[in-house]
Structure 1
């Protein structure tokens, strides 16, 4: 291979779909479904990517929705490669049967390793204290300005014993508003170590971009 592992990872990292500096923020209505329970909320994501959740009286549920929206924003927030990974070094690992190439990282505080297929990151593995997790992307949306993972799973294990702690399956869809792709629906199936499943759905409607602030 004539390219370096660093170059290849950088290409895939910069191919992720993110919102640009002109992102105005947006408002949306949320219907949250979990089992027999249904909650509704008003969500506002500001241009500085701060989040406001109103309309849910249950504080625990409101906090859960807030944290979920923060996760959504984390994946769309633009961050330069040098800022995120500039201090790390990269090397090639093995290529699997699907053609995905392992990218091994040194100097990453979270012990991250990746797999790259084409120009997409298809696997992230990390160790965070007692917990190790692997995220595998199975489906993605090509926006023309980068890809968004729309089908993926996360597998959690004990970092010392490798015991399975749980698994989550994610299905997501997005819609374009103006120049920006925003979440339309997200479904999460949480499966514990005893194979019990809880399904949570986030359904967004009446989504509107905020008007950019006028420049004096």
Structure 2
């Protein structure tokens, strides 16, 4: 398999666009491949309801929740942990985007547009200061649009801190659900250790002005699993 770093037969603009996008992609924070997993206490608040329990995320990144008896609350906590963990997996750019091509689109305050051709034709991104600031991507028959407003720099890559997410109809491009506002907080498990989610607040908006729901996920008393 030829490395995307070479591209001897590609036009200059395409090579330049690919390289710019690759730098932003590789600047995302990911865990080392030998990360053993971690555990701690957790809570989930949805409106007036508050659930408290414990969790374990194994080396396989699968989360299990204990103590909480409410199945919906357990599922909500496990889902958020999985969503966070799956984005910490380091996947080489060459494997993820080998069958794609890239070209520059327009530029605005969000960043420079990167248009995708090839296998994932129709997807697009925006990049700014080596950060992926927008994702417009087809996933499992749906179309998701994410805008990153604020990031946390860990020294080993960035983590999205404040961002919005909305699902669109892939045919009409019209919203099929409310826009969600995320505010994430991360901490290292120990000094110099891997960064993990400590708090996530999700607010969903209706009619562009009314907040109809707010969910808060908290993770604390965290520690890495033993490798022994």
TM-score by length of 2: 0.85
Q: State yes or no: 1:172 paired with 2:184.
A: yes
CA contact (8 A) 1:41 1:53 kept: yes
Rounded Cα–Cα distance in structure 1 between residues aligned with 2:141 and 2:58 = 35
- Give 2:199's aligned residue: 185
Task: Report the equivalent of 2:55.
Answer: 43
Cα-to-partner distance string for 1:190-213 (whole Å, 9 max, x where unaligned):
224584521000111101111223
1:201 aligned onto 2:216: yes
Secondary structure of 1:149's match?
strand
Match of 2:166 among 140, 155, 162: 155
Residue among 107, 124, 128 paired with 1:113: 124
CA shift digits 1:74-114 (9 cap, x unpaired)? 11111111121111111111111x26110011134484210
Equivalent in 125, 136, 152 of residue 136 of structure 2: 125
Separation (CA, whole Å) in 2 of partners of 1:157 and 1:166? 10
Superposed displacement of residue 25, structure 1: 1.0
| RMSD (CA atoms) | 2.1
Q: Distance in 2 between matches of 1:187 and 1:95?
A: 30
Aligned residue pairs total: 212
Aligned pair 1:146/2:152, yes or no?
no
1:3-14 matched pairs, under 5 angstroms: 4-14=16-26
The answer (yes or no) to whether the contact 2:110–2:126 under 8 Å persists in 1 is no
Say whether 1:32 aligns with 2:44. yes
1:76 counterpart SS class: coil
Displacement after TM superposition at 1:158 (Å): 3.0
Deviation, 1:128, is 4.7
How far apart in 1 are the matches of 2:202 and 2:74? 17
TM score, norm. by length of structure 1:
0.89
Q: Could you list the runs of 5+ residues in structure 1 that have no partner in the other structure? A: none
